[in-house]
Structure 1
């Protein structure tokens, strides 16, 4: 089912819309894209969503790196890996 062009175009359009929503609001990629993609084809879940979400988050962090406060992130990460 993943080789049908219409399915791939639909999935790509959905991913692009969810990524735009994520960029504007800060959330929405997984919330919007995942349930609809699983209805289209369960093979789209979970690895493609995780990889695309990671890439989108890294691009957002690089785009806004001047606004990232490393001192606050380091405190949070210390608690995370404790």
Structure 2
């Protein structure tokens, strides 16, 4: 169940992040961006917030995915 939840959360976070950053990606890339963002955001939020929940996890995942997109746009292939 944990892997399924990670994929669902990653898909949602990736969707929101790609819309905020106005990036066009496929479904797999969107899910991977969201999962990477969930990992980054989860690490950051666990350090900053003592109480975590589904909403905090989603916010962290979206912020992490936005950061990941920004890094890729800044330093990725042109």
Same structural fold, with TM-score higher than 0.5 when normalized by the shorter chain: no
Greater RCO (CA < 8 Å, at least 6 residues apart): 2
The structure with more radius of gyration? 1
- Bucket of the pairwise TM-score, normalised by the shorter protein: 0.3 to 0.5
